[in-house]
C-alpha cells in the first residue's frame, strides 16, 4: 500500500459553515486518519493520512467543500505517512 500524509490549509469562507464536520465525514468515509481544526486567521487546517489515492480523493473533496462554504485557495503539503493517528478527529 502506497500511504501518504497531506497537510492541507483551506482558505475562504470555511468557518461557521460546517467545514470541519464535512472534512471529518469525508476522511472517515475514506478510512483516513488525522485531524482538522479552525485556525485563528479564518483558515481551516487538516492532516490526512492513508492510502495515497484516498488522500488525493479527500483533497479534491476539500477543494469543493460543503455547499454552504466557499473555498478560495487550497495549500497542500504531501509527505510520507507517519502512522501516528488511529482515527480522524475534530480538534479545537
- Cα distances from 74 to residues 1, 2, 82, 87, in angstroms, run 26, 23, 22, 23
In a domain, 18, yes or no: yes
Residue 69 lies in domain: 3-79
In a domain, 54, yes or no: yes
- Residues catalogued as catalytic: 20, 38
pTM tops 0.85, yes or no: yes
Q: Which triple of cell numbers denotes residue 52? A: 495515497
Give me the chain's average pLDDT, please.
Answer: 96
In a domain, 92, yes or no: no
Each residue's pLDDT tens digit, 59-85: 999 999 999 999 999 999 999 999 999
Q: What is the number of domains present in the chain?
A: 1
Average pLDDT estimate for 29-51:
97
- Does position 1 have pLDDT exceeding 80, yes or no? no
CA distance linking residue 92 with residue 36, whole number of Å: 9
For residue 12, what is the domain's CATH number?
A: 3.30.70.100
Instruction: Pick the closest to residue 44 from 32, 53, 35, 54 (CA basis).
Output: 35
Amino acid at each position: 500500500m502506497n500511504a501518504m500524509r497531506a497537510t492541507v490549509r483551506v482558505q475562504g469562507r470555511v468557518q461557521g459553515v460546517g467545514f470541519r464536520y464535512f472534512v471529518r465525514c469525508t476522511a472517515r468515509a475514506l478510512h483516513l486518519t488525522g485531524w482538522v481544526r479552525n485556525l485563528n486567521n479564518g483558515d481551516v487546517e487538516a492532516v490526512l493520512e492513508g492510502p495515497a489515492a484516498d488522500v488525493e480523493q479527500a483533497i479534491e473533496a476539500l477543494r469543493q467543500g460543503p455547499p454552504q462554504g466557499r473555498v478560495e485557495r487550497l495549500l497542500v503539503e504531501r509527505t510520507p505517512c507517519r502512522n501516528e493517528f488511529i482515527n480522524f478527529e475534530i480538534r479545537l
